[in-house]
Every structure is written in structure tokens, then in C-alpha cells.
Structure 1
Amino acid sequence: MLFCSVFWYNAKAMSATVQTQAVVPNMNGAYRFLIIDDEPIVREGISEIIDWQSHGFELVGACRDGREGIRAVEELRPDVVLTDICMPFVDGLQLAAWVAEQYPAVKTILLTGYDDFEYAQEAVKLRVTDFLLKPITADELREMLEKIRRELDIERSQERRLELLQQQVHESLPLLRERFLNRLARAELHPSEVQRRLDFLELALPGPAFLVLICDLDGSEDSEQLLGLAVQNIVGQVAAGFPGAVAFSTPGEQSVVVLSAGDEAAALPRGLECAELIAERVSRELARTVSIGVGESGLGFAAVPASYAQASTALEQRLVRGPAQIITAEQLGAPLRPSIQSPDTDARSAYVRALKTADRSAAAAALDAVVGALRRNDADTETRYLTMQRLLADALSGLEALGLDALGFDPLGLDGTAPDGGQANPFVAIARMKTLDEMQEWFRRFQERAWTVLNQRQRSHSHAKAEAAEEYIRANAHRPDLSLAAVCGALSVSKSYFSPLFKEHTGKTFVEYLTDLRVERAKELLLRDPLKSYEVAERVGFRDAHYFSLTFKKTTGVSPTEFRELARQKS
């Protein structure tokens, strides 16, 4: 504890010089109290009569005049100063005026006699907190301390709430800035209120010319989310290198830069330089590409939403021009016009026909025609997306006509689920794609997947038919009139469809299969029952016993009688 005249509650220990030490923060929450009076008995009396700690105070010093008091205030930084008015060198009113100017948060209490009451009235003008009339009693002093402590408690609580609020505002600044800049870009703010908000958010957009560029990562995979955050960081870092530029992200996770320039002519070169730096760093650091739309420059804050809209339209041209592009609004020419008509209905129909017949070359030609028409015409971006989604709808309808359930068909042949666990939606997949090239490649994979599934289903269907045919033949092989026509009639299929299907499934023609089956059954009867050859022939489906013997010998190498005899010899 530092005292002006080092004071250990012992008047004999007083010194005529002011001794100081570094101010130690008060760790117990007590308020720091400083006494300034030129009368030793007053200093000692006030110091010793009060239990400072019980009242929430810490006595940090006792000074003998105003000059020493000023030094003590500077070095000890008390919360409360109790000073006499009449003192040598610097009186109490001068000290109070100095404290009010230099340390307005410090509370000053004047100690005065009755003869000095007129000075006390003057003290009110100096923002003195209170004053006590000599002689003072211990109760008066304690009452004054309680009053001051309550005031200080209230002020400290308010300061803490203010600090907490300031901390919360500071922590929220990034989010508040992003919301503000998004509203500015969407023309949701009046230009007159922009500067006030910029000042509050500590953003610098000096202007007077402004230009906006929008950066978006090429590709549409779900795995791009982390890469998108990395792109946003790069954009922010690049923008920080351009004085008067700010970067933010849109709800659609695109990165936006608002650039300031001294005049409109200087804005576009700065914008292109910024865009090129972003594209170069993304390529070098992430091994990916971005496309960037650059709006036109304009004067005043009203130019920001206009340039943002132009940059967004320029970026949409990636759909036609492909990825890794820096596209300026100046390159677009006349605005694109909306259209509700598909550019090439014939090509769409041709694609569906080729899809249904699994004609790869025709499908490729038709798809090239659809996409080529979209590249050439002047329809807007929305119409281009709509055309590709119509093509998908037509294709799924055609596949459904072939027995492929459109809703249950996963066009990409992945796991069949969307990121949220629901059924994959190919229309959403189309809407997320960013270039016509990407869409065209998607359709190529789509058609291959469709043909694979159709082929699998066809094979499954054929397999079922073949097995049904086998079952029917086994059940009716004993009938001499069993024929290919009878089997096909039972299965409701044509001979031309059934014959290759059955041969592929069994490796035998219908006649070969039936003959082998009848011969095998004849072997079983010859070994088991003492039947004549003609009787065996009748039971397994042969009308003519002689033909049966010839067929049996051709198949086994021996006649029925020889077969039976050889079997007996072996047994």
C-alpha cells in the first residue's frame, strides 16, 4: 500500500516525501480510498476510526497537501478521494477540478468547516460527489462510506453489464457484418443509413465508386462443403489485400467481394486483379477451380446492389461457358430474355426413343442436339435448367413405360439416398449442377445406369421364364404330344422369344432338353422296374418303342436292354 507520507497508523512514522510503488490491482473487490488533509490529527483520526474492510474499502494513502494528493491520485488510482478544502500549494477545490477533468470516474468528497461552506457550494459545480462538515463523527463518516459504496456498486455493476454487452457485440461482429453486407447487396437498406452501419460495424467502404464480384466453387458434389469454406477463407484473405474492400458469404455459400475505388474507371481493373488472385490461389492451394462473376462499377452505395445483380447474372453464364471462368457484366451484351419454350422438342423426343431402345449412338446424338441448342439460343438460365429437367421428366416417363419405376429408380446407381436419408431426387441433382457440360455428363451416366438396370431386370425376367419352362417340361415330359408350341403357349411367349432364352439358360434346345430328360427317366425305370422296353418308352413319353431304342442308344451308346444287362453285371 502506497502512502503520500508513508503512514502505518503511527504519526511518528510520517515522512515529508511521497514514496510510491506500482499500483497493485485490488483482488478482494474493495474500493480504494485516499485521504488528503494538511492536519495530521485529521488524517490519523479518519484512518484509525474506520474499519475500512468491513465497509468494502481499502485505505491506500493519506496525503498532507493537494500537491502530494495529485501525485497520489496519478499513482494509486483511487476510487474515492476525501480532501480538505483549505490546504497549502493546491487547495481542495483546485484538486477537485483537476480530478474531475483527469479522472472523471473518481468520486471526490470535500471536507470543510462552517466558514468554508460557500466553497462547498462552488464544489457542486465541480461535480463533487459529497461534502462533510468539520468536525465529523464516526457515524457520519460510516454513513457517507455506505452511501458511496452503494453508488460505486451500482456503477461497477453497470460497467460490467456494459463490458459484457460490448464483448457480445464484438463476438457477434462477424455475423452482424455478414448480415449487413447481404442486405446491402440485396438492396434492403436505404443508402442514407449505410454509412452509419458501416461505422458501427467497423467496416471501411470509402468509395466513392463500388464494384462487386461473386466467386463460386465449380462442381456440385456434397463433399464440396469443406472446400467451400476454404474458398471463403481465401477470398477473405485476398480481399484484405485491397484497401477499401470487404468480403462476405451469401446464404447460398457463394463468396462476395465489394471493392471500393477512387473512380469508376479504376474499379474494373481492381476487380479483375482481385478475381485473378482468388482463382490462382484456389487452384494452387486447393487444386480446384472457381468461376467468378464481375459486375459493373458505379458511384455511391446504391451501386452495390446493382453491381451485385450484374455479377450474379455474369456468374450464371458458367452454365454455358463452362467452369474456371472470370465473366464480366460487360461481356454479356443484351440481357437474356426469359422463354417458356424448350429449344428443341424433336431432340428431346429422339433422346427418349433412343433411351427406350438402348441405342447409344442415337442417344448421344440427341443429347448433343438438346445441349447444343441451349448453348446457342439466348434463353435465360432458368429456362436452360427447366429444359434439362423436362428432358429428365420425359426420360423417366419413357423408362416407366418399360416397367422401370421412376420414383424408385436411382439414376446414379449410388446408394439411393439423399444426404438427409430420403430418396435421391434427380431433379434436385440437376438443379444443383453449375454447367451444361456437367448436366450432359450426368445424363450419360443416367442412361448407362438405366440400361444396366433394364438389362438386369430383363435377365431376371428371362431367368424366371426359363425356370418356369423347365418346371412345365418336367411335369409334362411323359406326354407324347408335348411340343415347343405347347410350352410357349403355357408361358404366353412366342417361339422366337423362348428358343434363344431357353438355350441361353439351359445350354440346350427344347428338343435336346426334353430328349435328355426322357432318357434319364428311362434309365431310372430300367434299373428299378422289370418293364419291357416298349413299356418304358410309353411311360417316359415315346409313342414308338423302336424310336425310343434308337434315341436311347444314340444318347447313352447302348440299347435299353444292354444298359440293363450292364447294370446287373456291375451289381
Structure 2
Amino acid sequence: MYQIIIADDEEDVREILARNINQSGKEFQVIGTAENGVDALRLVKELNPSIVITDICMPVLGGLELIKSIQDFDPSIKTVVISGHDEFSYAKKAMALGVTEYLLKPFLPEELFEVLYKIKDNLDHQIALTKNITKMQNQIEKNLIYSQERFLKKVIEGSYQESEIILEGENVQIDLTAKVYCTGIFKVSVNTGHHAKELNGDRVIADFFSIIKEQYFDPEIKIYAISFEENQIVLIFCGACRNHLLFFKHIEQGIEKINESMERYYHTKVNGVLGNAYESIEKISISYQEALSAWKRVLDFKVNIVRYDEGKKRNDTEEIGIRQKPKELELSLLLHIQMNRREKALEALQEIFVSYASYGIEYMEFVNVSLVELVFRISESLAKAGGNLGVWEDDKVIHYLKRHFTYGSLMEAKSVLEDYIIRCCEEFSIINEKQSEKIVYNVKMLIENNLSNEEFNIEEASAQLFFSHNYVRQVFKQKTGESFNDYLFRRRMEVALELLKNPSQKIREIALSIGYSNQRYFASCFKKYYNCTPTEYREKLGI
């Protein structure tokens, strides 16, 4: 709906025009009226209408002066002049000032709406054109952003020679000329609080860095951000000083300043790794590969920034030898998962990762393969137990495996495996519960079928179920509240009690049928359980 202000020194004219427009049910609304040009101009500035209908002759500030002031304030506002025949020369002047339409008094409502609809069509086209221009500008900016990102990714991948980097950079409005270069990979540890969504996603974080870089970093350092993975970005640092130590110091100071603000306002922080600094623009890709190597080895950030050369120096002092998987820890981990010992399983996993974190950068490929094998061993163990949470049913694990060898860090692998292990423990808990119930049922069935077998014991029952007798003993006691022997003894006594009610059966036969070859020993056990001998029990029954 287009909003209108009416300016006329005749109150009747103002009221008639406003009433006709507002009661028409059309796409127009009068939002204000004024009896002179000064009041009308004030309303225009306050309400910002789409159309102003004004008389030529008004006190204080006339229509011509009002039109000129409106044009100076906002040329997009459409103006309609209403004039008498004897004032037509004024109307011509108004047209010269850029007035949109004019009406000669007296005029019919149909003539007014004919003019208003012509203006409406004009405004509709103007709005559509503005939207299209804005859309086109946004698309150009969007395409430029994607072109810049594509260019920067090719730079860190080493796809260009030095001359090509400068030339292609100019085409996408990026100036990489500098005296020293370094590449880093950074991660924002996004919290789950109020601001979590504000800094979530690699593109958002890349834009965030692009906006704040000038505020926090030395003016002699140019920074370009590239979206990398979830909450991770690659930063290319271009320095104007050849002093590498000073260059790194400025980078670290900038990250430190960012963390001070982020911890204060977002309760989170930035951590990352840096490759070495090089004076050749072509070696940006080498710095990136170094940063990526250091990134893969990171288990946790004890400092804000880890530098590749620091890790390399540490590796050079270590004795190079054959590295092996921590098999005992892996077996312990699998056992804890199978027994649903969540805390113990996570402790074993932590020890495994601490062990792998001690390996040098040159062993990271071996570590990556070992971790993938561990994931599949856990999955296989669960599948054998009848679980339904295999590797390919877990979206997080699938996503991790897809990118693990290229971008995966120990820190990320540990986080993914922790989640997966917790879910596997829950799955094993359900499996173990069902399995325990099945074991107890089968043991009870075996007992019922072996009451007459004097030699029957938990070892024999376990062997028939293909479980260790310690495991069966533990499960049976846990599920029934009775030990195996106590349950077997109780069932023999209960069956004996029922058989004694039949006078045709001799006590010796009953004893043999429930696994007692010695009648005297059976009588002793019966009395211990029921406080009377089998004979005394029959006497009570009158048998």
C-alpha cells in the first residue's frame, strides 16, 4: 500500500481528498494532511510517504518551494500538483521541477485515481527495477566471493606459479604481494550457549575473520580467510616485514587479542596451527601442507597456536624406530565397550590417543590407518553380538571417515570416537540385557532337565551354553538374585515336596529323581530346607 500526504490550505479540499482515497479500498492510504508547505515538509521528513499531493498556492511555504524541498530530501517521492485554471503557469514551473502529475481544479474522483494509478504503475516498476539491481549486485558480490575463495584454495593447493598468482589475484580483487607468507589452520571451539549459532559453520567463521582482522592484527599483515571444514578455516598471512620472528609474533598477538574478546563475549576461543614462513609466494602451498601435517597430530591445544617447526624440532630429537599399535589398550577398550563400562572405555581411548600423539609427524599416515581399523574393529565386535549400530549406520562416523585422511586431526578423531563408543556401550547394554535374560532362561531349562543328574553343576551348564562358567555365574546371580547352586538346591527341594504328595512313590525313588543317590543325605537336606524330614512331611499329610 502506497502512503500519501496531502498539502492544501483549504480544509474542505484536504478532508474530501483524504476521505475519497481512504474509503476507496484501493492500494493507497492518506497518512497525514497539512495546511501549509512548512507543516507538509515536516510530515514528509517524519513519515517518508510515497506520494505527496500539494496545492500550488499555500501560506508560509508555497507548493513550488515544497516540491523543491521534497526533491532535495528524497527524489524518489512522487508529487502531484492540484491547481486552478488561473494558476496554470505555476503548474508548468512545477513540472519543470520534476513534479510527477498535475490536476486542474475542479476534478472528479475518477481523474484523481487515474493519476494515482499511473504513479502506482511507475512506483511498481521502480521497486521491481531496484530489486533486480540489488539482486544483480548481490549475485555479483556472491560470485566474487566464490571466485576469491576458489582462487585462494588453488593457491594453497599449489596450482599456480608466482606470475599466475599475482595475475589471477588481480582478476578477483585480491592482492597477495608481500615479503613473507605463512598459512595456518584454525578452529573455533563453539559453545552451546546463547551465541553458539552466531559462530557456527566454516563460512560464517571465515566471514567473521575477514571482518575483524583489521581491528586485531598489525596493519603490516594482510589476512585472507578460506572456509575449510566445520568451525575450521585456513588463514593466509601476508607480511610486509622479512623478519620471521616478528611476523610470527604479530600473528600470535592478533590471535591472543581475538581470544580475549571471544572469551569475554562468546565464552569460546580460537586455536590453530601454523606452517613455516616463506618469502616466496609460491611456497604458500608448502606452508599449508606443513600446517595440515601439524593439524593432524594435534590432540588438544595447550597453547593458542602450535607451530609446525616446533613439532618438527621435537620429532628430530626423538629416536626413529618402528611404531606399533597399542594392542593391549585396544583389547582393553573393546572389552570395556562389550561390558558397557563407559567410563573405563573412554579412559582406555584417551590412553590410545595419548600414545598416538607422541608419534612424530612422519607417522601420522600409520596413525590414521590404525584409527580407521579401530573403528571397524569396534563395529565388527558390535555386529557379532547382534547390534544394529555399525559404522555405516552412524552419520558422524561416516562423515569423519570420508574426510579423515585428508583433514582429520587426532582431536577430531577422539571426539568422533568418544561419541561412537558411548552409543556402542548403550547398544551393548541392550544386547547384554537380552543375552543375560536368554542365558538365565537356558540355565533354568538345563536345571529342570538335569535335576536327576547328581553331577550336574555350573561348569557343565556353561559348557552347553558355550560361555565361561564365571560369566554365567555372574549373570545368573545378577538377574535372579540367587547363586546357581542355591537355585538348583531350591528347585530340587520344591520338586521333592510335590513328589512326596504321591503315596505311590517311595522316598528313595524321589531322592534319585532329584539327584540324591544317598537317601539319608537327601532327608538331611530336606529337613534343612523345610524343617522336617520327608517322612515327617508325609505323616503331616496323613500318608
When the two structures are superposed, what TM-score results if normalisation uses the length of structure 1? 0.54
Please show how residues 468-487 of structure 1 align to structure 2 within 5 Å: 468-477=442-451, 479=452, 483-484=456-457
Aligned counterpart in structure 1 of residue 257 of structure 2, from 277, 294, 302: 277
| CA deviation map 1:256-287 (0-9, x unaligned) | 55666555458655444433322332333323
Question: C-alpha displacement at 1:61, in angstroms?
Answer: 1.9
| 8 Å Cα contact 1:485/1:495 also seen in 2 | no
Aligned counterpart in structure 1 of residue 291 of structure 2, from 314, 317, 320: 314
Question: C-alpha displacement at 1:227, in angstroms?
Answer: 3.4
Question: C-alpha displacement at 1:456, in angstroms?
Answer: 7.2
Give the 3-state SS of the residue equivalent to 1:292 in structure 2. strand
Aligned counterpart in structure 2 of residue 325 of structure 1, from 301, 304, 314: 304
Question: C-alpha displacement at 1:506, in angstroms?
Answer: 6.4
| CA deviation map 1:459-496 (0-9, x unaligned) | 7545533422322332453x476744996499355895
Q: From the superposition, tell whether residues 382 and 519 of structure 1 become closer, same or farther in structure 2 (CA, over 3 Å).
A: closer
Amino acid at match of 2:135: Q
Q: Whole-Å Cα distance in 2 between the matches of residues 374 and 460 of structure 1?
A: 38
Aligned counterpart in structure 1 of residue 496 of structure 2, from 518, 522, 538: 522
| CA deviation map 1:30-57 (0-9, x unaligned) | 999xxxxxxxxxxx9xx79xxxxxxxxx
Question: C-alpha displacement at 1:386, in angstroms?
Answer: 3.4
Amino acid at match of 2:146: R
Aligned counterpart in structure 2 of residue 168 of structure 1, from 135, 157, 163: 135
Please show how residues 150-549 of structure 1 align to structure 2 within 5 Å: 164=131, 166-172=133-139, 175-187=142-154, 191-195=166-170, 197-198=172-173, 205=175, 209=179, 211=181, 214=184, 216-217=186-187, 226-228=198-200, 231-232=205-206, 234-241=208-215, 245=222, 248-250=225-227, 252=229, 254-255=232-233, 262=240, 264-265=242-243, 270-294=250-274, 303=281, 306-307=283-284, 310-311=287-288, 313-314=290-291, 316-321=293-298, 322-323=300-301, 324-327=303-306, 346-355=324-333, 372=355, 375-379=358-362, 384-393=367-376, 396=379, 399=381, 403-404=384-385, 408-409=389-390, 417-418=394-395, 427=401, 435-436=409-410, 439=413, 461=435, 463-477=437-451, 479=452, 483-484=456-457, 488=461, 491=464, 500=473, 504=477, 507-510=482-485, 513-527=487-501, 533=507, 537=511, 546-549=520-523
Q: Whole-Å Cα distance in 1 between the matches of residues 438 and 512 of structure 2?
A: 31
| CA deviation map 1:365-408 (0-9, x unaligned) | 998577546544341755543343234445655x369x346873
Q: Whole-Å Cα distance in 2 between the matches of residues 495 and 349 of structure 1?
A: 24
Identity %: 13
Give the 3-state SS of the residue equivalent to 1:250 in structure 2. strand
Question: C-alpha displacement at 1:453, in angstroms?
Answer: 6.5
Q: Whole-Å Cα distance in 1 between the matches of residues 232 and 136 of structure 2?
A: 25
Question: C-alpha displacement at 1:179, in angstroms?
Answer: 1.5
Q: Whole-Å Cα distance in 1 between the matches of residues 212 and 458 of structure 2?
A: 79
Match of 1:558 in 2: 532
| CA deviation map 1:113-171 (0-9, x unaligned) | xxxxxxxxxxxxxxxxxxxxxxxxxxxxxxxxxxxxxxxxxx99999887555422443
Q: From the superposition, tell whether residues 390 and 30 of structure 1 become closer, same or farther in structure 2 (CA, over 3 Å).
A: same
Give the 3-state SS of the residue equivalent to 1:347 in structure 2. coil
| CA deviation map 1:174-220 (0-9, x unaligned) | 5344323313313477533533542xxxx8x5955574654522559
Q: Whole-Å Cα distance in 2 between the matches of residues 405 and 539 of structure 1?
A: 39
Aligned length: 429
Amino acid at match of 1:325: N
Q: Whole-Å Cα distance in 2 between the matches of residues 158 and 498 of structure 1?
A: 82
Amino acid at match of 1:292: G
Give the 3-state SS of the residue equivalent to 2:395 in structure 1. coil
Question: C-alpha displacement at 1:558, in angstroms?
Answer: 1.7
Higher radius of gyration, 1 or 2: 1
Q: From the superposition, tell whether residues 284 and 543 of structure 1 become closer, same or farther in structure 2 (CA, over 3 Å).
A: same
Greater CA deviation, 524-533 or 318-327?
524-533
Q: From the superposition, tell whether residues 22 and 298 of structure 1 become closer, same or farther in structure 2 (CA, over 3 Å).
A: farther
Q: From the superposition, tell whether residues 381 and 222 of structure 1 become closer, same or farther in structure 2 (CA, over 3 Å).
A: farther
Q: From the superposition, tell whether residues 558 and 328 of structure 1 become closer, same or farther in structure 2 (CA, over 3 Å).
A: closer
Give the 3-state SS of the residue equivalent to 1:379 in structure 2. helix
Question: C-alpha displacement at 1:561, in angstroms?
Answer: 3.5
Q: From the superposition, tell whether residues 192 and 446 of structure 1 become closer, same or farther in structure 2 (CA, over 3 Å).
A: closer
CA RMSD of aligned residues (A): 6.0
Q: Whole-Å Cα distance in 1 between the matches of residues 149 and 170 of structure 2?
A: 15
Amino acid at match of 2:151: L
Question: C-alpha displacement at 1:553, in angstroms?
Answer: 2.6
Give the 3-state SS of the residue equivalent to 1:291 in structure 2. strand
Q: Whole-Å Cα distance in 1 between the matches of residues 458 and 276 of structure 2?
A: 78
Q: From the superposition, tell whether residues 556 and 476 of structure 1 become closer, same or farther in structure 2 (CA, over 3 Å).
A: same
Q: Whole-Å Cα distance in 1 between the matches of residues 458 and 154 of structure 2?
A: 78
| 8 Å Cα contact 2:67/2:79 also seen in 1 | no
Match of 2:159 in 1: none
| 8 Å Cα contact 2:153/2:226 also seen in 1 | no
Q: Whole-Å Cα distance in 2 between the matches of residues 424 and 284 of structure 1?
A: 35
Question: C-alpha displacement at 1:250, in angstroms?
Answer: 1.4
Aligned counterpart in structure 2 of residue 61 of structure 1, from 77, 93, 97: 93
Q: Whole-Å Cα distance in 2 between the matches of residues 388 and 231 of structure 1?
A: 29
Match of 1:100 in 2: none
Q: Whole-Å Cα distance in 1 between the matches of residues 127 and 458 of structure 2?
A: 98
Q: Whole-Å Cα distance in 1 between the matches of residues 459 and 257 of structure 2?
A: 78
| 8 Å Cα contact 1:213/1:275 also seen in 2 | no
Greater CA deviation, 537-546 or 169-178?
537-546
Q: Whole-Å Cα distance in 1 between the matches of residues 262 and 310 of structure 2?
A: 24
Give the 3-state SS of the residue equivalent to 1:552 in structure 2. helix
| 8 Å Cα contact 1:248/1:255 also seen in 2 | yes
Give the 3-state SS of the residue equivalent to 2:272 in structure 1. strand
| 8 Å Cα contact 1:210/1:297 also seen in 2 | yes
Amino acid at match of 1:556: Y
Question: C-alpha displacement at 1:317, in angstroms?
Answer: 1.5
Give the 3-state SS of the residue equivalent to 1:558 in structure 2. coil
Q: Whole-Å Cα distance in 1 between the matches of residues 132 and 475 of structure 2?
A: 82
Q: From the superposition, tell whether residues 267 and 386 of structure 1 become closer, same or farther in structure 2 (CA, over 3 Å).
A: same
Amino acid at match of 1:347: K
Give the 3-state SS of the residue equivalent to 2:362 in structure 1. coil
Q: From the superposition, tell whether residues 431 and 346 of structure 1 become closer, same or farther in structure 2 (CA, over 3 Å).
A: closer
